[in-house]
Amino acid sequence: MTVAQRTVVLSLSLLSLAGGIAWQLFEPGFEPWLFVIVGLMGLFTQWWPTGRKSYASRRLSGTVTFNYSNNNGRYVIGREEMLFETAWSKASDTSIHIYKDPPSIDSIAIALGVAHIKDLRSVSNLDFSSRSRTPQEGDVVVLKNRYGNYAALKVSDIKDSARSDLKDEITFSYVINPNGGDDFR
């Protein structure tokens, strides 16, 4: 639901709830309770868990954990000109494949010898020549999107259900450079 839709549902629910309570106070009966119930139902829809997994984060930095065997291995970070649709597939329990196949991604590289995202300097000089890369746990991957913006992802944990883990899962931290530059200092 969009923010505007949520606002409308919340407003109408509160109005129905308040109207039902006021009606019950002045004219007790069964009908006012229907307004109260409808108002409560609208409020519950705002916070009731749907069971649907989200494969996106609109934030410009954060940490993500998701099952890369679901959603075609895709997870979207960022928004608008700073949107990066990541695409992953199984390699092992210590490495994983990442691809530049999604339309939002122009190129990918691994920042060899870089331990932390904040240590990245002039990432435009990295080798962005391949369609896919296979980072290991602890590696930093740099993505360039179709708008020329950069994101850096540090792979911190990989799980592989074929190698003693209960599920396929990746955990990575990311930072999207809000300045549009190639330096993450």
List pLDDT tens digits, range 18-73.
888 998 898 888 888 887 888 888 877 776 665 556 899 999 999 999 999 999 99
Contact 140, 111 (CB under 8 A): yes
Structure tokens that stand for 7 in this block: 């606002």
pLDDT at 84: 97
Tell me how far apart the alpha carbons of residues 120 and 162 are, in angstroms, rounded to a whole number.
Answer: 33
Judge whether 185 lies within some domain. Answer: no
pLDDT at 180: 83
Judge whether 14 lies within some domain. Answer: yes
Looking at the fold, whether 115 and 86 belong to one and the same domain comes out as: yes
% of the chain beyond a pLDDT of 70: 95
Give the DSSP H or E segment for 70: none
pLDDT of 1 strictly over 60: no
Looking at the fold, whether 94 and 116 belong to one and the same domain comes out as: yes
Q: How many domains does the chain have?
A: 2
Q: Which residues are within 8 A (CB) of 26 and not within 5 positions of it... i.e. 6 or more apart? A: none
Split at pLDDT 50, 70, 90, the class of 129 is: very high
Structure tokens that stand for 1 in this block: 């639901």
Return the biggest CA–CA distance within the chain. Answer: 75
Tell me how far apart the alpha carbons of residues 152 and 67 are, in angstroms, rounded to a whole number.
Answer: 20
Looking at the fold, whether 119 and 138 belong to one and the same domain comes out as: yes
Q: Label the pairing between strands 56-57 and 74-77.
A: parallel
Give the DSSP H or E segment for 142: strand 140-145
Judge whether 181 lies within some domain. Answer: no
Structural domain boundaries enclosing 109:
56-176
Which of the pair, 67 or 185, is modelled with greater confidence? Answer: 67
Contact 14, 39 (CB under 8 A): yes
Tell me how far apart the alpha carbons of residues 108 and 103 are, in angstroms, rounded to a whole number.
Answer: 13
Judge whether 184 lies within some domain. Answer: no
pLDDT at 49: 62
Helix segments in the chain, DSSP class H: 3-26, 30-47
Looking at the fold, whether 36 and 72 belong to one and the same domain comes out as: no
pLDDT at 36: 85
Q: Which residues are within 8 A (CB) of 175 and not within 5 positions of it... i.e. 6 or more apart? A: 60, 61, 117, 151, 152, 184
